[in-house]
Amino acid sequence: MKLRSRTSLSRGWLAVGAVAAVAAMTAVAAVATFTLVGTAGVEPVGKALPAQAARTSFPGLAAARGEPELTSIGASHPRRGQILQAKGPFDDRFVLEGTTFDGSAVAGAVRVTSDVSDVLELQVLAGFFDEQGHLIGTGRFVHHLGESHAHTGPPEEREQFRIPLPAALAHRAVSVTIAVPVLVNE
């Protein structure tokens, strides 16, 4: 099983590089030829398929500029020592368990309650607050379950996380708000 978990930190958000200025090709009319394995009377054939049938551009849809943010974190007001949960799109699919904040990291577990299946994607976003209740920085935990693997055990519904306080915020954060912006089960 190829399992990749990592923690990344950010105050601002990771900016995805500008899209290379490749000439627009919305009118591309490439034709893919497929050779298919066919039995039961279906012979391998070459077929011309209009690639433009696949819609690949969406005018009006703004491209993502980085990792997901949730405004609900900034709107929360945890008091010293508190760990709050902010609203996210999947709050009815999990429970937070055993959350702690020792001044250097927030830790705990997300237990998925909606599916008995592998957790493909999970992101836990933590907002760190100072004594005055100001959001001073964020960190995130990212879980990604690779697909090109042989399953070696039963689906895991509980994912532990630990999100360190960014070094620049050392000794300033006194409370945390947590939210889950990304959750996908198989």
Partner 1 sequence: MRRSSPVFTSTTLVAALVATAAVTGLAGAASAAPSTANKDAAKNVIYLLGDGMGRTHVTAGRQRFYGAGAKMVMETLPAQGHVSTYAVERNSGQPGKAGFRPNLVTDSASAATAWSSGVKTYNAALGVDAKGTVVPTLMELARQDGFRTGNVSTAEITDATPAGQMSHALARGCQGPLYSESACQDLEITGEKLPTNDVRVTPIADQIARNGTADVILGGGLSRFDTSDETALKQQGYSVLGSVADQRPATKADLAAARGEKVFGLFNKGNLTVEKTKQDNPAAPQAQEPSLPEMTRKAISLLGHNSTKGKGFYLQVEGALIDKRSHANDAAQTLAEIKAFDDSVAVALAFAKRDGNTLVVVTADHECAGFNIVEKGTFTNAEAATPPGNVDGGNTANSSSPTRPRNARDATRSSGIINGSGSADAGNFAPATFRTPDDASDVTDGSPEASLWLSYLSGNHTGADVPIYAYGPGSGQLQGSVDNTALFTIVGRALRVVR
Calculate ∠ Cα 6-184-144, nearest 5°: 25
Under the criterion CB under 8 A, does residue 14 sit at the interface with partner 1?
Answer: yes
Burial class (CB in 10 A: 0-12, 13-18, 19+), 144: middle
Among positions 54-73, residues that touch partner 1 (CB under 8 A) are: 54-69
Neighbours of 133 (CB within 10 A): 14
Under the criterion CB under 8 A, does residue 25 sit at the interface with partner 1?
Answer: yes
Listed ranges 77-85, 99-107, 162-170, 177-185: which one lies at the site for partner 1 (CB under 8 A): 177-185
Q: Which of 9, 96, 109, 142 binds partner 1 (CB under 8 A)?
A: 142
Under the criterion CB under 8 A, does residue 167 sit at the interface with partner 1?
Answer: no
> What Cα–Cα distance (Å) separates residue 105 from each residue in 86, 99, 100, 163?
18, 10, 8, 5
Cα–Cα dist 137/69, whole Å: 12
Among positions 82-101, residues that touch partner 1 (CB under 8 A) are: 89-90, 92-93
Are residues 179 and 88 in contact, defined by beta-carbon separation less than 8 angstroms? yes
Least distance from partner 1 to the Cβ atom of residue 6, Å: 8
Among positions 98-137, residues that touch partner 1 (CB under 8 A) are: 114-117, 120-121, 123
Under the criterion CB under 8 A, does residue 150 sit at the interface with partner 1?
Answer: yes
Under the criterion CB under 8 A, does residue 20 sit at the interface with partner 1?
Answer: yes
Under the criterion CB under 8 A, does residue 47 sit at the interface with partner 1?
Answer: yes
Q: Which of 3, 31, 168, 170 binds partner 1 (CB under 8 A)?
A: 31
| Residues in CB range of 67: below 8 A, 6 or more apart | 8, 10, 13, 14, 123, 140
